[in-house]
A and B are shown apart, each in its own frame.
Chain A
Amino acid sequence: MKNWNSVEEKWREQLSNKSEDIPEGLWSRLEERLPERLEEKPSRRFPIYWAAAAMLLLALGLSWNWNPALEEGAAEVTRVIEKTEAPVEKAATSVSEALIVPTKATESTFTKARFERVSMEESPVNVVEESPKEEIVATVPATEKKDESPEIVTVRLDIDPIEEEEVKPAFTQQKRRKSLFGKIVGEIRQALDGEPVNWQKLKEGNASFENSIHTVANTYVKTEENLKRTLQIQ
């Protein structure tokens, strides 16, 4: 006696290979549907909301960094650093060359030149003669000061190295950009509304910002003087 499962299995086998005749024009009808359907499918690789988010972030980033006054200050600091560091190295090298070259021709680095002591007796050097009034300010380590004798020429370069602390105020200002930017935006809005704007108030509210500008300016002047002096030595 057969059961239903065997009947169904037989039917399944028979039906699985069954194929109908496809009427003419069925593909053409399908082809008509295909383009519009397949064109609908491709989704945006970069969805619109992601693009909007990216634009917003970009705008925020730009507005966050944009502050002409601070940029000016920062640029000035950079300029000072550039101006100081390069010539100092150069000047130091040239001084050491003038005094030490024959003995230490190959070692004319900035660090060594700073603390080198040159004995006039030991080296047949053509020392550049300086006028008696012209004073070469020196920064020699304290331990070496006691060995000073008439025969020894000590070269001191009083070049204030740019310490990180001096640049720091500008950095701290950067942190305050947000609030400052908010204030500026507020003032602009006020101006757009037709209300009088007190720009001086902005400056007053940021005393440290003003101080940092002065610090930068002072550093610049100080460094410039030092550079001039160094060049005179040359």
Chain B
Amino acid sequence: MSTRLPSFTSEIELIAACRNNNRQAQQALFQKMAGKMLSVVKRYISNTSEAEDTLMEGFVKVFSKLDQYQGGGSFEGWVRKIMVNEALMSIRKNKDRYPVDIDVAFDLAHPDETLMQLGLQEIEQLIASLPTGYRTIFNLYAIEGYSHAEIAQLLAISEGTSKSQLSRARALLQNQLITLQL
């Protein structure tokens, strides 16, 4: 990673060079975005090597589908979507089931004040402690900002299921706060 790469003055220039299959530009783009994207993928896939593999698959897709990027929205957002999709595909491949029924008896209307005080690492730890299904829905809704309709379409579930899974995920997070003594 210590290779000195030619500098591209703008993101548009970098994207154009990547479209022309310029390997140096592709490496520059990878170096620029890989860290953030690995963090995104890791929120869905806790296994590190699996997350890295998913990241690479995602970048292969990014480079091969660059022609489809019209430049309308943010490029980072576009790449992030690809990474999220790739992570979901990876979860599906590994036969992890999304929704798991767990009885949670917490009042979800008012979250614990402690949740607001948590640091970045603690938040990550808390989210990672959730079962795959809840974690996926919570990540999609709370962190990526997808709507329930979009989540339902992505995971091939109903909107109602998405909503109920989110509330259960929230309840579980509060529960985990005590368990993990954060």
Contact = CB atoms under 8 A, between A and B. Distances in A.
A146 interface: no
A22 B1 CA distance: 9
Interface in A153-205: none
Contact of A33 (B39, B56, B142): B56
Interface in A1-42: 1-4, 6-8, 10-12, 14-15, 17-24, 26-27, 29-31, 33-34, 37-38, 41
A34 B8 CA distance: 21
B129 to A, nearest CB: 14
A34 B60 contact: yes
Given A3-B111, A4-B111, A20 B63 contact: no
Contacts of B63: 34, 37-38
Contact of A30 (B39, B59, B119, B170): B59
B35 A21 contact: yes
The SS class assigned to the A binding surface is helix
A11 B30 contact: no
A72 B28 CA distance: 69
B156 interface: no
B102 interface: no
B26 A34 contact: yes
A100 B23 CA distance: 85
A115 to B, nearest CB: 72
Interface residues on chain A, size class: 20 to 34
Contacts of B1: 22, 24, 26-27
A8 B174 CA distance: 13
A20 B142 contact: no
Contacts of B21: 38
A38 B64 contact: yes
A74 to B, nearest CB: 51
A148 to B, nearest CB: 86
Nearest to B138: A8
Nearest to A22: B34
Given A20-B39, A26-B52, A31-B23, A12 B111 contact: no
B120 interface: yes
A20 B38 CA distance: 6
B123 A33 contact: no
A6 B35 CA distance: 26
A17 B143 CA distance: 12
A37 B143 CA distance: 31
Nearest to A14: B120
B60 A37 contact: yes
Nearest to A12: B143
B116 A10 contact: yes
Contact of B35 (A7, A22, A29, A37): A22
A37 B59 CA distance: 11
Interface string B107-133: 011110101101110011000000000
Which of the listed residues A3, A19, A24, A31 has the most CB atoms from chain B within 10 Å of its own CB? A19
B4 to A, nearest CB: 14
Q: Which 9 A-B pairs have the closest CB atoms?
A: A19-B35, A8-B142, A20-B38, A18-B39, A20-B39, A30-B56, A22-B34, A19-B36, A7-B115
18 contacts: A2-B116, A3-B110, A4-B108, A6-B116, A8-B141, A8-B142, A11-B118, A14-B123, A18-B39, A18-B120, A18-B124, A20-B38, A26-B1, A27-B30, A27-B31, A27-B34, A30-B56, A30-B60
Given A3-B111, A19-B39, A37-B63, 15 more contacts: A1-B110, A2-B110, A2-B111, A2-B116, A3-B109, A6-B116, A15-B43, A15-B120, A19-B36, A20-B38, A26-B34, A26-B52, A27-B31, A29-B56, A31-B23
